Amino acid sequence: MEIKDVEKLAELAKIELTQEEKETLLKDLDGILGYVKQIQEVDVAEIIPEYEHRNIWREDRVEERDFSGEIIRKEFPDAQGGFVKVKKIM
Amino acid sequence: MIDLKNLTIEKAGEMIRKGEITSVELTSLYLKNIEEKNKELNAYLEVFDDCIEQAQKADEMIKSGKGTKMTGIPIAVKDNILIKGKKCSAGSKILENYTASYDAYVIRKLKEAGAVFLGRTNMDEFAMGSSTQTSAYGVTRNTHDLDRVPGGSSGGSAVAVASDLALVALGTETCGSVRQPASFCGLVGLKPTYGAVSRNGTIAMGNSLDQIAPFGKTVRDAEIVFDTIRGKDEMDATSVDLKIEKKELKKIIGIPWHLFEEGVDEIVINNFKESVEKFKKAGYEIKDIKLPYSKYSLAVYYIIMPAEVSTNLSRFDGVRYGLRKEGETVADSYKKTRSAGFGAEARRRIILGTYVLSHGYYDAYYNKAWRVRHAIEQEFENIFKEVDFVLTPTTPTPAFKIGEKMDDPVAMYLCDIFSAPANISGITAIALPSGETPLKLPLSIQFMAPRFHEKDLFELGKQFEEIR
């Protein structure tokens, strides 16, 4: 991995990094990936999970909840007329 | 004068019922301790201003005959579990001013039972860490040696119980975040089976791994809290309501010696061997077992967890709640907000998770990790046909010095080498105090049991309390 890979990942993850942070991260990632790479030596050809993932549904009906629109709106960092307010998109 | 050091939930309950003390008086004792000691320890980030009011309600509940075991019991809560109307920051700047809009399922259960919430406790930022040093609100100190870490990520909750700043506490586990601090602080810590306790209302780190988990000074205390908070919750599709029943007395303990041939302190190994001898004397059969896949648990964890972290933490963008830093454009605002709000470890894991999920690496890391995870699950299923429990040390070392391992992430991650198998395979495990070093630092052993066999762990743990 190189600095430009760290920059690309930071861009994807929407995180700003200083030059120093990029260098530290590069070193850290090399260390961590070096450690986790050991799983590549494991032979799992015979491993088939015995269970299946399945959906668990709830009925689509209105139910009482602890929170309200008012409580949730109070947490908006910026709002106008009950809507979240963000910078112009286009 | 009450001896808080040896107080248990049942002793406190008995005293309250007999009228020897009220919940208000008991709560006041803990509040006084908090006032005296918290500045130094930094176990609590906030002590609630309505503790006495809660205790008064509990006293009324007891008087009216509606009390439960938890009624009037002062409990500390980790800062990533929502209590309606209270701040909840997950140890992060990005949620510094966030107020919870609802009660977590476990909080609702504890409220119904009449527990008294004393405050919210310090933790590694977003539960990412093994020493409570990555919190945005300072380190928490180990009560056994103030220059040492309490473990983490639930370090604040552990110190609260170990220092008599609460009778019991809630933490969360993604990979050892309750068992490891329990080990460093001389407490009992239970990691429930995945699905035994609802995750609704916990700030998520790794959804396929997270579980809310109790701390107590005794096995029985951890058991009572667990019994109060477990069960099926409609709001968490992964929670289940299985009857947790005790089977006939279990007697076969398997030990995977090959997992700790190296990298474990001699003092830990010696204490471990002494504990094994005690079980032998008590009539248990000890079997040498091999868990060839489980040795990859921590490596699997450091792929799956960051992948889940990178998706979970994408919701913190300064739009709906939490910190917001304005930039020129929407994308700039996201970046400025996330850079100002997340600490170094959170960023590291987000970037790592973004990497293992990215095109070209997904198969080699994430997909492979899941397949190894299945292998580990099956390995435990098979081994539990031969033995009733698997025994290991809880941690490779006792509590280390504050500042240590902070510039070497892999060294920090290795603290949880023995925690990882239980989280990766979803089984239950318990950390039990097993002695101390000449410097009076606690030591601990860990038992793992099949899914939903918590009761067996409690019975075994209680027996160890008798023979250790």
Q: Which of B352, B380, B425 to mutate to test the interface with A (most CBs of A within 10 A)?
A: B352
φ, ψ of residue B456 in degrees (nearest 5) = -65, -40
Distances (CA, A) of B172 to B47, B120, B127, B461: 19, 13, 8, 20
The alpha-carbon gap from A56 to the nearest alpha carbon of chain B, in Å, equals 6
Q: Which of A7, A15, A37, A67 to mutate to test the interface with B (most CBs of B within 10 A)?
A: A15
- Measured in whole angstroms, the distance separating CA B178 from the mean position of its chain's CA atoms is 2
Q: How far apart are CA B193 and CA B430, in angstroms?
A: 11
**Among residues of chain B, what percentage have pLDDT more than 90?**
95
Task: Inform me whether the pLDDT recorded for B249 exceeds 90.
Answer: no
Q: What's the confidence (pLDDT) of residue B243?
A: 72
Contact between residue B71 and residue B58 where contact means Cβ atoms under 8 Å apart: yes
Say which residues have a Cβ less than 8 Å from residue B169's Cβ, sequence separation at least 6. B75, B76, B77, B78, B121, B154, B157, B158, B160, B161, B214, B215
- Kindly give the pairing relationship between strand B389-393 and strand B252-255: parallel
Bridge-partner residues for B389, per DSSP?
A: B253
Task: Inform me whether the pLDDT recorded for B362 exceeds 80.
Answer: yes
Question: Which chain A residue shows the shortest CA-CA distance from B406?
Answer: A28
Both tokens of B235, joined, read: 């709001």
Question: Which chain A residue shows the shortest CA-CA distance from B312?
Answer: A13
Q: What's the confidence (pLDDT) of residue B246?
A: 62
Q: How far apart are CA B83 and CA B76, in angstroms?
A: 12
Q: Does B333 touch chain A (CB under 8 A)?
A: yes
Chains A & B: contacts with CB separation below 8 Å: 144
Contact A47 B303 (CB under 8 A): no
Contact B371 A47 (CB under 8 A): yes
- Using a CB-CB cut-off of 8 Å, the residues of chain B touching A38 are 296, 299
Say which residues have a Cβ less than 8 Å from residue B445's Cβ, sequence separation at least 6. B271, B272, B275, B391, B392, B393, B394, B431, B432, B434, B464
φ, ψ of residue B79 in degrees (nearest 5) = -70, 15
Q: How confident is the model at residue B244 (pLDDT cuts 50, 70, 90)?
A: low
Q: How confident is the model at residue A63 (pLDDT cuts 50, 70, 90)?
A: confident
- Using a CB-CB cut-off of 8 Å, the residues of chain A touching B194 are none
Distances (CA, A) of B447 to A17, A54, B271, B292, B335: 42, 31, 15, 18, 44
Mind listing the pLDDT tens digit for each residue in B436-466? Answer: 999 999 999 999 999 999 999 999 999 999 9
Both tokens of B209, joined, read: 């791994």
Q: Which of A23, A25, A30, A36 to mutate to test the interface with B (most CBs of B within 10 A)?
A: A36
Contact between residue B68 and residue B109 where contact means Cβ atoms under 8 Å apart: no
Mind listing the pLDDT tens digit for each residue in B159-205? Answer: 999 999 999 999 999 999 999 999 999 999 999 999 999 999 999 99
Contact between residue B334 and residue A37 where contact means Cβ atoms under 8 Å apart: no
Distances (CA, A) of B173 to A50, A75, B372: 25, 27, 21
Q: What's the confidence (pLDDT) of residue B44?
A: 98
Mind listing the pLDDT tens digit for each residue in B46-71? Answer: 999 999 999 999 999 999 999 999 99
What share of residues in chain A are helix, strand, coil (percent, to 5)? 45, 5, 50
Question: Rg (Cα) of chain A, in Å, rounded?
Answer: 23
The alpha-carbon gap from A82 to the nearest alpha carbon of chain B, in Å, equals 12
Q: How far apart are CA B214 and CA B221, in angstroms?
A: 9
pTM higher than 0.90, yes or no? Answer: yes
Catalytic site residue B243?
A: no
Q: Which of B355, B358, B382, B413 to mutate to test the interface with A (most CBs of A within 10 A)?
A: B355
Distances (CA, A) of B332 to A3, A6, A18, B14, B374: 21, 18, 15, 59, 40
CA atoms within 13 A on the CB side of B452: 11
Q: How confident is the model at residue A88 (pLDDT cuts 50, 70, 90)?
A: confident
Task: Inform me whether the pLDDT recorded for B233 exceeds 90.
Answer: yes
**Among residues of chain B, what percentage have pLDDT more than 70?**
99
Of the candidates B153, B294, B297, B434, the residue annotated as catalytic is B153
Contact A35 B342 (CB under 8 A): no
Contact A66 B84 (CB under 8 A): yes
Specify the higher pLDDT residue, A48 or B78.
Answer: B78
Catalytic site residue B78?
A: yes
Both tokens of B426, joined, read: 């979803």
Q: Which residue type, as a one-letter code, is found at position B429? A: A
- Using a CB-CB cut-off of 8 Å, the residues of chain A touching B409 are 28, 31-32
Q: What's the confidence (pLDDT) of residue A9?
A: 97
Both tokens of B241, joined, read: 């309501």
Residues 312-331 (B) with a CB less than 8 A from some CB of A: 314, 317-324, 326-331
Mind listing the pLDDT tens digit for each residue in B385-430? Answer: 999 999 999 999 999 999 999 989 999 999 999 999 999 999 999 9
Q: Does B336 touch chain A (CB under 8 A)?
A: yes
What's the residue count for chain B? Answer: 468
Residues 5-34 (A) with a CB less than 8 A from some CB of B: 5-6, 9-10, 12-17, 21, 25, 28-29, 31-34
Q: How confident is the model at residue B144 (pLDDT cuts 50, 70, 90)?
A: very high
Q: What is the dihedral of CA B426, B428, B434, B437, to 10 degrees?
A: 20
Q: What ipTM does the predicted assembly reach?
A: 0.94
- Return the closest-CA partner of residue B159 out of B271, B39, B72: B39
Distances (CA, A) of B46 to B53, B79, B137, B139: 16, 9, 11, 14
Of the candidates B37, B57, B69, B78, the residue annotated as catalytic is B78
Q: Could you tell me where the beta strands, DSSP code E, fall in B256-304?
A: 285-288
Contact A35 B102 (CB under 8 A): no
Task: Inform me whether the pLDDT recorded for A52 exceeds 80.
Answer: no
Catalytic site residue B177?
A: yes
Q: Does A3 touch chain B (CB under 8 A)?
A: no
- Return the closest-CA partner of residue B193 out of B210, B171, B179: B210
First to last CA, chain B: 29
Domains and CATH numbers, chain B: 4-229 (3.90.1300.10)
Q: How confident is the model at residue A64 (pLDDT cuts 50, 70, 90)?
A: confident
Contact B323 A29 (CB under 8 A): no
Say which residues have a Cβ less than 8 Å from residue B298's Cβ, sequence separation at least 6. B175, B413, B414, B416, B417, B420
Q: Does B93 touch chain A (CB under 8 A)?
A: no
